[in-house]
Amino acid sequence: MADAARSPISLEGLDLAALVASRVCHDVISPVGAIVNGLELMEDGADQATTELALDLIRKSAKTASARLQFCRIAFGAAGSAGSAIDTRDAHQVATNFLNDDRTSIDWHIPPAFLPKNRVKLLLNLLMLAAGAIPRGGVIKVEMTGEGDTAGFAILVTGLNARVPPHAAELLAGIPANEQGTIDAHAIQPYYAGLLARAAGMTVRIEKVEDRVEISAS
């Protein structure tokens, strides 16, 4: 539960932008670094076998970097800023590319529709929280509740040792996780999700229920 005794987090626009940018960089630095490593291996005059391994590393890392950037473009950026709605099919595509791997899968039950931009951005941010609830992998089932401008979401997360990410409830509510009232790039994502929820007039709940984590936005 959020600690009501602590003052809400207050960030200047520049600080919020810097922390979100840091979070995005954190998500893409690893695959980009792997691409650089692969190129360095090839430049060092590696043999045929090593060259093939380097090329495979570069291909996989480039695909990962592209998936993460496309996801972040909608989840954090101004994608679709020319309009007020985003197609849920686009959200499905970027979420699948970003989160689906050999350990985690998305069970998507949201029909094709154009939803208000902040609601779709909120959904993607909640999916990031869902992925953080199953560090060893599992299944993220997502459904839509309601329709149109009143649409909400229900996310069911199952997996080995599923748990609510540390301080997620406080940060979603805009309450700092520490006594100093500070926030860093690691904590900015759930805080940003809370900002999106409030901008969309929605309430988010996250809780552990038996062996699963349930997230709802309504």
Q: Does the residue 3 lie in any domain? A: no
What lies within 8 Å, CB to CB, of 113 at 6+ separation is 87, 88, 144, 147, 148, 151
**Residue 151 to residues 30, 96, 170, 191, 206: CA-CA distances in angstroms?**
35, 21, 24, 21, 18
- DSSP SS3 for 189: helix
Q: Does the residue 6 lie in any domain? A: no
Do the Cβ atoms of 157 and 212 come closer than 8 Å?
yes
Q: Give the integer Cα–Cα distance in Å for 18 and 26.
A: 12
Do the Cβ atoms of 89 and 122 come closer than 8 Å?
no
pLDDT along the chain (218 residues), means of 10: 62 87 89 89 78 88 93 82 80 94 93 91 96 93 87 93 90 80 82 92 93 93
Maximum Cα–Cα distance for the chain, whole Å? 63
What lies within 8 Å, CB to CB, of 66 at 6+ separation is 97
Q: What is the pTM (predicted TM-score) of this model?
A: 0.88
Q: Does the residue 55 lie in any domain? A: yes
Q: Does the residue 1 lie in any domain? A: no
Containing structural domain, residue 37: 13-217
* pLDDT tens digits for range 14-27: 988 998 899 889 88
Residue 70 exposure: Cα atoms within 13 Å on the Cβ side: 16
pLDDT on residue 1: 42
DSSP bridge partners of 208: 213
Q: Does the residue 2 lie in any domain? A: no
pLDDT on residue 182: 72
Do the Cβ atoms of 175 and 3 come closer than 8 Å?
yes
Q: Give the integer Cα–Cα distance in Å for 217 and 82.
A: 25
Do the Cβ atoms of 151 and 120 come closer than 8 Å?
no
pLDDT on residue 96: 95
Q: Which helix (H) or strand (E) holds 71?
A: helix 48-75
The CATH number of residue 87's host domain is: 3.30.565.10
Q: Does the residue 62 lie in any domain? A: yes
pLDDT on residue 216: 93
How do strand 152-159 and strand 212-217 relate by DSSP bridges? antiparallel
* pLDDT tens digits for range 69-85: 999 999 998 765 556 88
Q: Does the residue 124 lie in any domain? A: yes
Number of domains in the chain: 1
pLDDT on residue 3: 47
Q: Does the residue 7 lie in any domain? A: no
Q: Give the integer Cα–Cα distance in Å for 25 and 208.
A: 30
